[in-house]
Amino acid sequence: MKKILFLTGTRADYGKLKSLMKRVEKDSNFELHVFVTGMHMLSKYGSTYHEVEKDGFKNIYKYINQKSSSHDQMDISLSNTITGLSNYCDEVKPDLIVVHGDRLEALAGAIVGAFNNIKVMHIEGGEVSGTIDESIRHAITKMAHFHLVANDEAKKRILQLGEKEESVFVFGSPDLDIMYSDTLPNMDEVKDKYEIPFETFSILMYHPVTTEVDQLPQKVKNVVDAVIESGRQYVVIYPNNDHGSDVILKEYSRFETHPNFLVYPSMRFEYFLTLLKNCDFIIGNSSSGIREACVYGKMAIDLGCRQSGRYSEENVNILHCDEDTSQILASIQTALQTHPDCASYFGDGKSDEKFIDILNNSTVWTTEIQKRFNDIDF
């Protein structure tokens, strides 16, 4: 029986990995292990490790890789994660480490795998953005042995990075597995759980861009000014814990006594999806706006550079503007008057089935641990 270790550090990556983890847990060929760290372990961000525990996985290991008071030291958090995960792997001895995306915890997983001769599988590599996250994502690619990407465009980038074509699998975006499921809570359940009185609302999710943190105070002020001036009601979810998050949270304190805003450190993924399905639009710089909103036919207002390069003109549900108050207000009006069709550019909601098929492919287990650069003829 092969031991498969999933590493999750944020509410976002867990939403992507959950359907895959459940399939592994059910398969008699594999033994699932879950290493929970990062934002999950911080009370400031909702202690979302509880959400992992609620899903009932047998082998869960929780590890605190940072202090809430020192979240700006991302390099130290990376170092701590490497130490904790390395010790855990020495004890469990996994056959495969599965990581997602571009967070420091995923980078730690790839490093630990590379230095301990453990194969690494990377979910949703080959994508671009306007932040340091892109460099992290590509660095993970170079240490990963297998690449499970969302679409053909991402596959091309993986190949450009010198990876072998047989190591790249186009399997879609696994969060669609949950988005298309018939087990999501209804809107009344969501309103009851999170005490939301609004009949109509939009969603605000805005994260720091670490390479532009000096500009963040003015940018987030403009965002908050705009949504308040819009006169609409918003469900606001905390940013991730990257450098600059405290600047955003300080500005969000303006919402505390305002009746049009409800602010939450985190929200269970399935409940968030129901909110998204029923909102007027989503605004901010979260990947939820460019990945998930289109599936439900919802408009997304993408602010700034964080998602730069991750969508094209064919994504008719996305409006882009700078963190400028007047631009944001104009975009809100446009979003309210636009009603796009439902569409998906990242798979068919069956990533979990494809994932198990890939794991059961003998190629995964016979591939050499030593990687070699694959040159492309230009």
Residues 6+ apart with CB under 8 A from 149: 124, 125, 126, 155, 158, 168, 169, 170, 171
CA distance 251 to 253: 5
Give me the long-range contacts of 49-52 (CB less than 8 A, separation at least 24).
Answer: 51/11, 51/14, 51/268, 51/269, 52/8, 52/14
- Comparing 15-24, 237-246, 284-293, 306-315, the range with the smallest average pLDDT is 306-315
Is the pLDDT at 342 greater than 70? The verdict is yes
Is the pLDDT at 371 greater than 80? The verdict is yes
CA distance 250 to 23: 40
- Comparing 67-71, 125-129, 272-276, the range with the smallest average pLDDT is 67-71
User: What does the pLDDT average to over 87-106?
Assistant: 97
Nearest to residue 208, comparing CAs of 128, 294, 303?
A: 303
Nearest to residue 125, comparing CAs of 168, 162, 166, 87?
A: 168
Element counts in the chain: helices (H) and strands (E): 15, 13
Beta partners for 203?
Answer: 235, 282
Residue 71: pLDDT band (50, 70, 90) is: low
What is the pLDDT, as a whole number, of residue 232? 98
Domains of the chain: 2-173+349-366 (3.40.50.2000), 187-336 (3.40.50.2000)
What is the pLDDT, as a whole number, of residue 366? 94
What is the pLDDT, as a whole number, of residue 58? 95
What does the pLDDT look like over 38-56, one tens digit per residue?
999 999 999 999 999 999 9
Residue 326: pLDDT band (50, 70, 90) is: very high
CA distance 74 to 60: 24
Indicate the pairing of strand 168-170 with strand 96-100: unpaired
Residue 344: pLDDT band (50, 70, 90) is: confident
Q: How far is CA 326 from CA 168, 206, 222, 330, in A?
A: 43, 18, 9, 6
Length of the chain: 378
Q: Which residue has the tokens 């170092």?
A: 79
What does the pLDDT look like over 223-232, one tens digit per residue?
999 999 999 9
What's the whole-model pTM score? Answer: 0.90
Is the pLDDT at 329 greater than 60? The verdict is yes
What is the pLDDT, as a whole number, of residue 368? 93
Is the pLDDT at 255 greater than 70? The verdict is yes
What is the pLDDT, as a whole number, of residue 91? 97
